[in-house]
Structure 1
Amino acid sequence: MQNIPLFKVFLPPRDALMPKLEQVLYSGLISEGEQVVEFERRFGDWIGLSSPKSGVLSFYSGTAALHGALALAGVRSGDEVISTAMTAEPTNMAILHAGAKIVWADVDPANGNMDARSLASKITDRTRAVMAVHYGGIPVDIDAIRAAAAPRNVPIVEDAAHAMGARYGGKPIGVHSEFVMFSLQAIKHMTTVDGGMLVCNTPADAAGLLAEGRKFRWFGIDRAAPRTEVDVTSVGYKYHMNNVTAAIGLVQLDYVEAVL
Protein backbone atom coordinates (compact mmCIF):
# COMPACT_ATOMS: atom_id res chain seq x y z
CA MET A 1 0.00 0.00 0.00
CA GLN A 2 1.34 3.43 -0.95
CA ASN A 3 1.62 5.91 1.90
CA ILE A 4 0.49 9.36 0.71
CA PRO A 5 0.90 12.07 3.39
CA LEU A 6 -2.07 14.41 3.67
CA PHE A 7 -0.27 17.38 5.18
CA LYS A 8 3.41 17.05 4.28
CA VAL A 9 4.14 18.27 0.76
CA PHE A 10 6.62 16.55 -1.51
CA LEU A 11 10.16 17.88 -1.79
CA PRO A 12 12.92 16.16 -3.77
CA PRO A 13 15.47 13.97 -1.99
CA ARG A 14 18.02 15.94 0.01
CA ASP A 15 20.95 14.80 -2.14
CA ALA A 16 19.17 16.07 -5.28
CA LEU A 17 17.90 19.39 -3.91
CA MET A 18 20.46 20.69 -1.44
CA PRO A 19 23.49 20.90 -3.76
CA LYS A 20 21.44 22.97 -6.23
CA LEU A 21 20.21 25.24 -3.45
CA GLU A 22 23.68 25.71 -2.00
CA GLN A 23 25.05 26.51 -5.45
CA VAL A 24 22.57 29.37 -5.81
CA LEU A 25 22.68 30.59 -2.20
CA TYR A 26 26.45 31.03 -2.23
CA SER A 27 26.76 32.23 -5.82
CA GLY A 28 26.10 35.84 -4.90
CA LEU A 29 23.25 35.87 -7.43
CA ILE A 30 20.12 35.04 -5.45
CA SER A 31 17.61 37.43 -7.04
CA GLU A 32 16.09 37.04 -10.52
CA GLY A 33 18.61 35.55 -12.93
CA GLU A 34 19.58 32.51 -14.99
CA GLN A 35 17.72 29.98 -12.85
CA VAL A 36 14.48 31.92 -13.27
CA VAL A 37 14.87 32.07 -17.05
CA GLU A 38 15.65 28.35 -17.20
CA PHE A 39 12.72 27.47 -14.94
CA GLU A 40 10.32 29.43 -17.16
CA ARG A 41 11.64 27.61 -20.23
CA ARG A 42 11.46 24.15 -18.70
CA PHE A 43 8.03 24.75 -17.18
CA GLY A 44 6.75 25.73 -20.63
CA ASP A 45 8.28 22.57 -22.09
CA TRP A 46 6.61 20.47 -19.39
CA ILE A 47 3.21 22.07 -20.05
CA GLY A 48 3.67 21.30 -23.73
CA LEU A 49 3.97 24.77 -25.21
CA SER A 50 5.10 24.51 -28.81
CA SER A 51 3.82 27.67 -30.46
CA PRO A 52 6.09 30.71 -30.87
CA LYS A 53 3.03 32.68 -29.76
CA SER A 54 3.23 31.16 -26.27
CA GLY A 55 5.51 31.76 -23.31
CA VAL A 56 5.80 31.65 -19.53
CA LEU A 57 6.27 34.39 -16.95
CA SER A 58 7.22 33.56 -13.37
CA PHE A 59 5.98 35.53 -10.35
CA TYR A 60 6.57 35.37 -6.62
CA SER A 61 3.00 34.14 -6.05
CA GLY A 62 -0.02 32.88 -7.91
CA THR A 63 -1.96 35.95 -6.83
CA ALA A 64 0.67 38.20 -8.40
CA ALA A 65 0.50 36.09 -11.57
CA LEU A 66 -3.28 36.58 -11.75
CA HIS A 67 -2.85 40.33 -11.29
CA GLY A 68 -0.30 40.26 -14.10
CA ALA A 69 -2.67 38.31 -16.34
CA LEU A 70 -5.43 40.87 -15.84
CA ALA A 71 -3.06 43.75 -16.54
CA LEU A 72 -1.83 42.09 -19.74
CA ALA A 73 -5.44 41.39 -20.73
CA GLY A 74 -6.07 45.12 -20.63
CA VAL A 75 -8.19 45.23 -17.47
CA ARG A 76 -8.25 48.73 -16.02
CA SER A 77 -9.97 50.57 -13.19
CA GLY A 78 -13.75 50.50 -13.57
CA ASP A 79 -13.80 47.53 -15.96
CA GLU A 80 -15.75 44.37 -15.19
CA VAL A 81 -14.32 40.87 -14.78
CA ILE A 82 -16.71 37.92 -14.59
CA SER A 83 -15.66 35.44 -11.94
CA THR A 84 -16.90 32.83 -9.49
CA ALA A 85 -17.32 32.77 -5.73
CA MET A 86 -16.38 29.07 -5.67
CA THR A 87 -12.68 29.66 -5.18
CA ALA A 88 -10.10 30.81 -2.65
CA GLU A 89 -9.87 34.52 -1.88
CA PRO A 90 -6.77 35.30 -4.02
CA THR A 91 -8.65 34.69 -7.28
CA ASN A 92 -10.97 37.61 -6.75
CA MET A 93 -8.51 39.70 -4.75
CA ALA A 94 -6.45 39.94 -7.94
CA ILE A 95 -9.45 41.48 -9.71
CA LEU A 96 -9.71 44.10 -6.98
CA HIS A 97 -5.96 44.75 -7.26
CA ALA A 98 -6.58 45.58 -10.92
CA GLY A 99 -9.23 48.09 -9.89
CA ALA A 100 -12.00 46.18 -11.64
CA LYS A 101 -15.51 45.26 -10.55
CA ILE A 102 -16.29 41.59 -9.92
CA VAL A 103 -19.40 40.26 -11.66
CA TRP A 104 -20.49 36.87 -10.38
CA ALA A 105 -21.43 34.03 -12.70
CA ASP A 106 -23.28 31.02 -11.34
CA VAL A 107 -21.66 27.59 -11.12
CA ASP A 108 -22.57 24.10 -12.22
CA PRO A 109 -23.76 22.31 -9.04
CA ALA A 110 -22.32 19.05 -10.36
CA ASN A 111 -18.70 20.23 -10.17
CA GLY A 112 -18.50 23.79 -8.82
CA ASN A 113 -17.13 25.19 -12.08
CA MET A 114 -18.39 28.31 -13.83
CA ASP A 115 -21.58 27.74 -15.81
CA ALA A 116 -21.15 28.92 -19.40
CA ARG A 117 -24.82 29.86 -19.81
CA SER A 118 -24.68 32.06 -16.74
CA LEU A 119 -21.44 33.57 -18.02
CA ALA A 120 -23.01 34.42 -21.37
CA SER A 121 -25.83 36.27 -19.63
CA LYS A 122 -23.38 38.42 -17.65
CA ILE A 123 -21.14 39.65 -20.48
CA THR A 124 -21.57 43.31 -21.43
CA ASP A 125 -19.56 45.94 -23.25
CA ARG A 126 -17.84 46.64 -19.91
CA THR A 127 -16.51 43.08 -19.58
CA ARG A 128 -12.74 42.94 -20.06
CA ALA A 129 -11.93 39.40 -18.90
CA VAL A 130 -13.36 36.14 -17.62
CA MET A 131 -11.74 34.46 -14.61
CA ALA A 132 -12.39 30.73 -15.01
CA VAL A 133 -11.39 28.56 -12.05
CA HIS A 134 -10.73 24.82 -12.36
CA TYR A 135 -12.47 24.09 -9.08
CA GLY A 136 -10.82 21.28 -7.12
CA GLY A 137 -8.66 20.55 -10.16
CA ILE A 138 -11.65 19.52 -12.30
CA PRO A 139 -11.22 21.27 -15.66
CA VAL A 140 -13.88 23.83 -16.47
CA ASP A 141 -15.69 23.37 -19.79
CA ILE A 142 -13.19 25.54 -21.66
CA ASP A 143 -14.89 25.19 -25.05
CA ALA A 144 -18.22 26.39 -23.65
CA ILE A 145 -16.58 29.24 -21.72
CA ARG A 146 -14.67 30.37 -24.81
CA ALA A 147 -17.80 30.16 -26.95
CA ALA A 148 -19.64 32.40 -24.48
CA ALA A 149 -16.83 34.96 -24.44
CA ALA A 150 -16.00 34.89 -28.17
CA PRO A 151 -18.74 37.20 -29.54
CA ARG A 152 -17.19 40.14 -27.66
CA ASN A 153 -13.59 38.90 -27.90
CA VAL A 154 -13.28 38.73 -24.12
CA PRO A 155 -10.00 37.06 -23.04
CA ILE A 156 -10.04 34.10 -20.65
CA VAL A 157 -7.84 33.92 -17.56
CA GLU A 158 -7.73 30.37 -16.20
CA ASP A 159 -7.00 29.97 -12.49
CA ALA A 160 -5.35 26.56 -12.60
CA ALA A 161 -4.00 26.66 -9.05
CA HIS A 162 -5.48 23.19 -8.45
CA ALA A 163 -5.21 21.85 -11.99
CA MET A 164 -1.52 21.26 -12.60
CA GLY A 165 -1.25 18.10 -14.68
CA ALA A 166 -4.96 18.02 -15.57
CA ARG A 167 -6.08 17.69 -19.18
CA TYR A 168 -8.99 18.98 -21.23
CA GLY A 169 -9.88 17.71 -24.67
CA GLY A 170 -6.77 15.55 -24.68
CA LYS A 171 -4.47 18.53 -24.13
CA PRO A 172 -2.83 19.71 -20.91
CA ILE A 173 -4.35 22.59 -19.00
CA GLY A 174 -2.20 25.56 -19.95
CA VAL A 175 -2.51 25.55 -23.73
CA HIS A 176 -6.15 26.53 -24.30
CA SER A 177 -6.71 30.12 -23.17
CA GLU A 178 -4.96 33.47 -23.41
CA PHE A 179 -3.72 33.35 -19.82
CA VAL A 180 -3.35 30.40 -17.44
CA MET A 181 -2.02 30.68 -13.87
CA PHE A 182 -0.42 27.83 -11.94
CA SER A 183 0.32 28.16 -8.23
CA LEU A 184 3.53 26.87 -6.63
CA GLN A 185 2.45 27.74 -3.10
CA ALA A 186 3.43 25.56 -0.15
CA ILE A 187 0.51 23.10 -0.37
CA LYS A 188 0.08 22.85 -4.14
CA HIS A 189 0.82 19.85 -6.38
CA MET A 190 4.35 21.13 -6.96
CA THR A 191 5.77 23.64 -4.52
CA THR A 192 8.70 26.02 -4.68
CA VAL A 193 7.75 27.25 -1.16
CA ASP A 194 5.85 30.01 -2.94
CA GLY A 195 5.49 31.23 -6.49
CA GLY A 196 3.26 31.39 -9.53
CA MET A 197 3.63 30.71 -13.23
CA LEU A 198 1.65 32.54 -15.90
CA VAL A 199 1.32 30.87 -19.29
CA CYS A 200 0.56 33.37 -22.05
CA ASN A 201 -0.96 32.17 -25.32
CA THR A 202 -1.36 35.20 -27.53
CA PRO A 203 -2.68 35.37 -31.09
CA ALA A 204 -0.40 38.28 -31.91
CA ASP A 205 2.90 39.60 -30.53
CA ALA A 206 4.09 37.07 -27.95
CA ALA A 207 7.49 38.69 -27.51
CA GLY A 208 5.91 42.09 -26.90
CA LEU A 209 3.38 40.71 -24.42
CA LEU A 210 6.05 38.84 -22.46
CA ALA A 211 8.21 41.96 -22.40
CA GLU A 212 5.31 43.93 -20.96
CA GLY A 213 4.81 41.20 -18.35
CA ARG A 214 8.46 41.39 -17.31
CA LYS A 215 8.13 45.15 -16.90
CA PHE A 216 4.93 44.70 -14.89
CA ARG A 217 6.69 42.42 -12.40
CA TRP A 218 9.61 44.85 -11.95
CA PHE A 219 8.26 48.36 -11.24
CA GLY A 220 7.41 48.99 -14.91
CA ILE A 221 11.13 48.92 -15.75
CA ASP A 222 12.76 47.17 -18.69
CA ARG A 223 15.66 45.47 -16.91
CA ALA A 224 17.40 44.84 -20.23
CA ALA A 225 17.83 48.58 -20.78
CA PRO A 226 20.57 50.66 -19.10
CA ARG A 227 19.15 52.25 -15.96
CA THR A 228 20.01 55.73 -17.25
CA GLU A 229 17.84 55.12 -20.31
CA VAL A 230 14.79 53.73 -18.52
CA ASP A 231 11.52 55.55 -19.11
CA VAL A 232 8.74 54.19 -16.89
CA THR A 233 5.52 54.42 -18.87
CA SER A 234 3.31 51.96 -16.97
CA VAL A 235 2.66 50.85 -13.41
CA GLY A 236 4.68 47.90 -12.17
CA TYR A 237 5.29 45.96 -8.98
CA LYS A 238 7.98 43.89 -7.32
CA TYR A 239 6.40 40.61 -8.35
CA HIS A 240 9.39 38.74 -9.79
CA MET A 241 10.55 35.24 -8.81
CA ASN A 242 14.05 34.77 -7.39
CA ASN A 243 16.79 32.28 -8.24
CA VAL A 244 16.39 30.38 -4.95
CA THR A 245 12.73 29.67 -5.65
CA ALA A 246 13.49 28.79 -9.27
CA ALA A 247 16.26 26.40 -8.22
CA ILE A 248 13.73 24.44 -6.16
CA GLY A 249 11.35 24.45 -9.12
CA LEU A 250 13.98 23.13 -11.52
CA VAL A 251 14.62 20.12 -9.29
CA GLN A 252 10.90 19.61 -8.67
CA LEU A 253 10.30 19.32 -12.41
CA ASP A 254 12.42 16.16 -12.38
CA TYR A 255 9.88 14.54 -10.04
CA VAL A 256 6.55 16.18 -10.87
CA GLU A 257 5.24 13.41 -13.14
CA ALA A 258 5.78 10.78 -10.46
CA VAL A 259 4.19 13.00 -7.80
CA LEU A 260 1.11 13.76 -9.89
Structure 2
Amino acid sequence: MPRCLTIFLILSCTLFISSCLGAARDPALRLAQRAPFDNTYYVAEGDWVCDKEQLGIINAAISDTKAIASQTINVLQVPGAETSKAYRTWFGLSNANVNRKNKIITHHYRVALQNLGEPSTPVTFNLGDTPQYQVAGHTPPVTKNSIVYACIEADELSSRMLCGNTKAAVVGATANKPSYLDTTVIYLCPSFFSPSSISETRMKIQWRRGLDPQMSRGMVLLHELQHMATATTDNEDCDDLGYTAASCASLPDNEKLLNAQNYVYFALDVLANPANGKPR
Protein backbone atom coordinates (compact mmCIF):
# COMPACT_ATOMS: atom_id res chain seq x y z
CA MET A 1 0.00 0.00 0.00
CA PRO A 2 1.43 3.46 -0.84
CA ARG A 3 2.87 5.17 2.19
CA CYS A 4 0.74 8.30 1.89
CA LEU A 5 -2.40 6.16 1.67
CA THR A 6 -1.39 4.22 4.78
CA ILE A 7 -0.93 7.49 6.66
CA PHE A 8 -4.27 8.75 5.41
CA LEU A 9 -6.10 5.61 6.53
CA ILE A 10 -4.51 5.68 9.97
CA LEU A 11 -5.38 9.33 10.55
CA SER A 12 -8.86 8.95 9.10
CA CYS A 13 -9.46 6.10 11.51
CA THR A 14 -8.21 8.22 14.40
CA LEU A 15 -10.47 11.14 13.57
CA PHE A 16 -13.43 8.83 12.90
CA ILE A 17 -13.08 7.20 16.30
CA SER A 18 -12.84 10.58 17.98
CA SER A 19 -15.93 11.92 16.23
CA CYS A 20 -17.97 8.89 17.26
CA LEU A 21 -17.26 9.17 20.96
CA GLY A 22 -20.00 11.69 21.54
CA ALA A 23 -22.69 9.16 20.67
CA ALA A 24 -21.52 6.57 23.20
CA ARG A 25 -19.37 8.33 25.77
CA ASP A 26 -18.88 6.03 28.76
CA PRO A 27 -17.10 7.83 31.62
CA ALA A 28 -15.56 4.53 32.67
CA LEU A 29 -13.68 4.41 29.36
CA ARG A 30 -12.48 8.00 29.48
CA LEU A 31 -8.82 8.82 29.98
CA ALA A 32 -7.66 9.30 33.52
CA GLN A 33 -6.43 12.75 34.48
CA ARG A 34 -2.94 13.35 33.17
CA ALA A 35 -0.25 15.90 33.71
CA PRO A 36 0.22 18.73 31.19
CA PHE A 37 2.68 18.30 28.34
CA ASP A 38 6.16 17.38 29.47
CA ASN A 39 7.83 19.02 26.45
CA THR A 40 6.93 20.86 23.27
CA TYR A 41 8.51 19.86 19.95
CA TYR A 42 8.36 20.81 16.30
CA VAL A 43 9.32 18.71 13.30
CA ALA A 44 12.64 20.01 11.98
CA GLU A 45 13.58 17.08 9.74
CA GLY A 46 11.89 14.08 8.16
CA ASP A 47 8.16 14.10 7.47
CA TRP A 48 5.89 17.11 7.98
CA VAL A 49 8.69 19.62 8.55
CA CYS A 50 7.87 23.12 9.82
CA ASP A 51 10.13 25.81 8.40
CA LYS A 52 11.22 29.02 10.11
CA GLU A 53 8.43 31.12 8.59
CA GLN A 54 5.80 28.59 9.62
CA LEU A 55 7.17 28.49 13.16
CA GLY A 56 6.81 32.25 13.34
CA ILE A 57 3.18 32.00 12.27
CA ILE A 58 2.54 29.22 14.80
CA ASN A 59 4.07 31.27 17.62
CA ALA A 60 1.95 34.29 16.70
CA ALA A 61 -1.17 32.11 16.62
CA ILE A 62 -0.36 30.69 20.05
CA SER A 63 -0.04 34.24 21.40
CA ASP A 64 -3.44 35.06 19.88
CA THR A 65 -4.98 31.95 21.42
CA LYS A 66 -3.66 32.89 24.84
CA ALA A 67 -5.01 36.42 24.49
CA ILE A 68 -8.42 35.07 23.50
CA ALA A 69 -8.40 32.65 26.42
CA SER A 70 -7.34 35.33 28.90
CA GLN A 71 -10.08 37.72 27.79
CA THR A 72 -12.66 34.94 27.89
CA ILE A 73 -11.62 33.99 31.42
CA ASN A 74 -12.10 37.60 32.48
CA VAL A 75 -15.67 37.45 31.17
CA LEU A 76 -16.42 34.16 32.91
CA GLN A 77 -14.96 35.23 36.24
CA VAL A 78 -17.57 37.96 36.66
CA PRO A 79 -20.09 36.76 39.28
CA GLY A 80 -23.22 35.52 37.54
CA ALA A 81 -21.53 35.07 34.16
CA GLU A 82 -23.20 31.66 33.88
CA THR A 83 -26.55 33.46 33.50
CA SER A 84 -25.43 35.38 30.40
CA LYS A 85 -26.98 34.96 26.98
CA ALA A 86 -23.74 33.64 25.50
CA TYR A 87 -23.21 31.09 28.27
CA ARG A 88 -26.70 29.66 27.95
CA THR A 89 -26.51 29.61 24.17
CA TRP A 90 -23.19 27.77 23.90
CA PHE A 91 -23.10 25.75 27.13
CA GLY A 92 -26.78 25.28 27.91
CA LEU A 93 -29.21 26.32 30.63
CA SER A 94 -28.79 23.07 32.57
CA ASN A 95 -25.05 23.78 32.81
CA ALA A 96 -25.54 27.33 34.09
CA ASN A 97 -24.02 26.82 37.52
CA VAL A 98 -20.85 27.99 39.21
CA ASN A 99 -19.30 24.53 39.45
CA ARG A 100 -19.54 23.87 35.71
CA LYS A 101 -18.47 27.43 34.89
CA ASN A 102 -15.31 26.97 36.94
CA LYS A 103 -14.55 23.69 35.14
CA ILE A 104 -14.95 25.46 31.81
CA ILE A 105 -12.51 28.14 32.93
CA THR A 106 -9.98 25.63 34.24
CA HIS A 107 -10.09 22.91 31.61
CA HIS A 108 -10.96 24.78 28.43
CA TYR A 109 -9.52 28.29 28.62
CA ARG A 110 -6.89 28.46 31.34
CA VAL A 111 -5.22 25.43 29.77
CA ALA A 112 -4.35 27.64 26.80
CA LEU A 113 -2.29 29.80 29.14
CA GLN A 114 -0.73 26.88 30.98
CA ASN A 115 -0.39 24.04 28.48
CA LEU A 116 -0.23 25.47 24.96
CA GLY A 117 3.49 26.02 24.68
CA GLU A 118 5.41 27.39 21.73
CA PRO A 119 7.30 24.82 19.65
CA SER A 120 10.77 24.97 21.14
CA THR A 121 12.56 21.65 20.66
CA PRO A 122 13.44 20.29 17.20
CA VAL A 123 12.74 16.66 16.44
CA THR A 124 13.21 14.40 13.45
CA PHE A 125 9.92 12.68 12.67
CA ASN A 126 9.68 9.63 10.44
CA LEU A 127 6.33 7.96 9.84
CA GLY A 128 6.91 4.56 8.28
CA ASP A 129 5.08 1.59 9.77
CA THR A 130 5.96 2.80 13.26
CA PRO A 131 6.31 6.53 14.00
CA GLN A 132 9.82 7.42 15.11
CA TYR A 133 10.98 10.58 16.87
CA GLN A 134 14.66 11.39 17.12
CA VAL A 135 16.11 14.22 19.19
CA ALA A 136 19.68 15.47 19.40
CA GLY A 137 22.13 14.92 22.22
CA HIS A 138 20.72 15.02 25.72
CA THR A 139 17.37 16.46 24.66
CA PRO A 140 14.48 14.74 26.50
CA PRO A 141 12.80 12.14 24.26
CA VAL A 142 9.28 12.49 22.94
CA THR A 143 6.82 10.69 25.25
CA LYS A 144 3.08 10.02 25.22
CA ASN A 145 2.69 13.22 27.26
CA SER A 146 4.53 15.45 24.78
CA ILE A 147 3.12 17.65 22.04
CA VAL A 148 4.60 17.83 18.55
CA TYR A 149 3.78 20.55 16.01
CA ALA A 150 3.89 19.27 12.44
CA CYS A 151 3.29 21.03 9.12
CA ILE A 152 1.69 19.20 6.21
CA GLU A 153 3.42 19.66 2.87
CA ALA A 154 1.67 21.88 0.37
CA ASP A 155 1.83 19.31 -2.42
CA GLU A 156 -1.62 18.52 -3.75
CA LEU A 157 -1.80 14.85 -2.69
CA SER A 158 -0.72 15.25 0.94
CA SER A 159 -2.83 18.33 1.44
CA ARG A 160 -5.92 16.78 -0.11
CA MET A 161 -5.66 13.44 1.70
CA LEU A 162 -4.72 14.69 5.16
CA CYS A 163 -6.34 18.11 5.26
CA GLY A 164 -9.23 18.56 2.83
CA ASN A 165 -10.87 21.79 4.00
CA THR A 166 -9.30 21.53 7.45
CA LYS A 167 -6.78 24.06 8.72
CA ALA A 168 -5.46 21.86 11.52
CA ALA A 169 -6.11 18.59 13.29
CA VAL A 170 -5.01 16.74 16.39
CA VAL A 171 -3.92 13.12 16.52
CA GLY A 172 -3.84 12.02 20.13
CA ALA A 173 -5.10 9.42 22.54
CA THR A 174 -8.84 8.68 22.46
CA ALA A 175 -11.06 7.38 25.25
CA ASN A 176 -9.80 3.82 25.02
CA LYS A 177 -6.84 3.90 22.63
CA PRO A 178 -3.38 5.45 22.69
CA SER A 179 -2.37 7.87 19.98
CA TYR A 180 -1.62 6.29 16.61
CA LEU A 181 1.40 8.56 16.51
CA ASP A 182 2.48 7.66 20.08
CA THR A 183 2.05 11.21 21.35
CA THR A 184 -0.13 14.29 20.80
CA VAL A 185 0.55 15.68 17.34
CA ILE A 186 -1.12 18.82 16.06
CA TYR A 187 -0.67 19.01 12.33
CA LEU A 188 -1.17 22.29 10.56
CA CYS A 189 -2.36 22.39 6.99
CA PRO A 190 -1.32 24.72 4.16
CA SER A 191 -4.50 26.77 4.59
CA PHE A 192 -3.48 27.56 8.18
CA PHE A 193 -0.46 29.41 6.81
CA SER A 194 -2.27 31.11 3.93
CA PRO A 195 -1.67 34.87 3.64
CA SER A 196 -5.42 35.22 3.17
CA SER A 197 -6.17 33.81 6.65
CA ILE A 198 -8.81 35.95 8.32
CA SER A 199 -7.81 38.41 11.02
CA GLU A 200 -9.52 38.48 14.40
CA THR A 201 -10.91 41.92 13.65
CA ARG A 202 -12.48 40.75 10.40
CA MET A 203 -13.78 37.60 12.07
CA LYS A 204 -15.56 39.63 14.74
CA ILE A 205 -17.09 41.93 12.13
CA GLN A 206 -18.50 38.94 10.25
CA TRP A 207 -19.85 37.50 13.50
CA ARG A 208 -21.64 40.73 14.38
CA ARG A 209 -23.27 40.63 10.95
CA GLY A 210 -24.74 37.23 11.75
CA LEU A 211 -22.38 35.27 9.53
CA ASP A 212 -20.51 32.06 10.27
CA PRO A 213 -17.01 33.51 9.86
CA GLN A 214 -13.83 31.76 8.98
CA MET A 215 -11.85 31.12 12.12
CA SER A 216 -8.69 33.10 12.80
CA ARG A 217 -5.53 31.14 13.50
CA GLY A 218 -5.89 31.83 17.21
CA MET A 219 -9.40 30.41 17.22
CA VAL A 220 -8.28 27.39 15.19
CA LEU A 221 -5.74 26.53 17.88
CA LEU A 222 -8.31 27.11 20.63
CA HIS A 223 -10.55 24.57 18.88
CA GLU A 224 -7.77 22.02 18.51
CA LEU A 225 -6.76 22.46 22.13
CA GLN A 226 -10.16 21.12 23.16
CA HIS A 227 -9.29 17.77 21.57
CA MET A 228 -6.08 17.32 23.57
CA ALA A 229 -6.66 15.02 26.53
CA THR A 230 -3.24 15.79 27.98
CA ALA A 231 -3.94 19.53 27.85
CA THR A 232 -7.53 19.68 29.06
CA THR A 233 -7.01 16.95 31.69
CA ASP A 234 -9.66 15.51 34.01
CA ASN A 235 -11.59 13.83 31.16
CA GLU A 236 -12.59 17.18 29.67
CA ASP A 237 -11.34 16.67 26.09
CA CYS A 238 -13.92 17.25 23.36
CA ASP A 239 -15.21 15.73 20.13
CA ASP A 240 -16.57 17.28 16.93
CA LEU A 241 -20.35 17.09 17.13
CA GLY A 242 -21.08 20.29 15.20
CA TYR A 243 -19.26 23.09 13.38
CA THR A 244 -21.72 25.76 12.24
CA ALA A 245 -23.08 28.22 14.76
CA ALA A 246 -26.62 26.95 14.24
CA SER A 247 -25.67 23.31 14.74
CA CYS A 248 -23.59 24.08 17.83
CA ALA A 249 -26.30 26.20 19.43
CA SER A 250 -28.93 23.51 18.83
CA LEU A 251 -26.99 20.65 20.44
CA PRO A 252 -28.46 19.15 23.62
CA ASP A 253 -26.93 20.71 26.71
CA ASN A 254 -24.79 17.68 27.56
CA GLU A 255 -23.35 17.62 24.03
CA LYS A 256 -22.57 21.33 24.10
CA LEU A 257 -19.97 20.59 26.76
CA LEU A 258 -18.50 17.83 24.60
CA ASN A 259 -18.19 19.85 21.39
CA ALA A 260 -14.92 21.66 20.72
CA GLN A 261 -16.43 24.40 18.58
CA ASN A 262 -18.85 25.51 21.31
CA TYR A 263 -15.90 26.80 23.34
CA VAL A 264 -14.72 28.72 20.29
CA TYR A 265 -18.13 30.26 19.63
CA PHE A 266 -18.53 31.29 23.25
CA ALA A 267 -15.19 33.09 23.16
CA LEU A 268 -16.00 34.73 19.84
CA ASP A 269 -19.49 35.75 20.97
CA VAL A 270 -18.41 37.47 24.18
CA LEU A 271 -15.41 39.18 22.57
CA ALA A 272 -17.31 40.39 19.51
CA ASN A 273 -20.49 41.27 21.44
CA PRO A 274 -19.52 42.01 25.06
CA ALA A 275 -23.15 42.52 26.08
CA ASN A 276 -23.81 38.85 25.38
CA GLY A 277 -21.35 37.87 28.10
CA LYS A 278 -22.82 40.03 30.84
CA PRO A 279 -24.88 38.44 33.65
CA ARG A 280 -28.61 38.71 33.33
Give the TM-score, by structure 2 length: 0.30
The answer to which structure, 1 or 2, has the higher relative contact order (CA under 8 A, 6+ apart) is 2
Q: Which has the higher strand share?
A: 1
Q: Which has the higher helix share?
A: 2
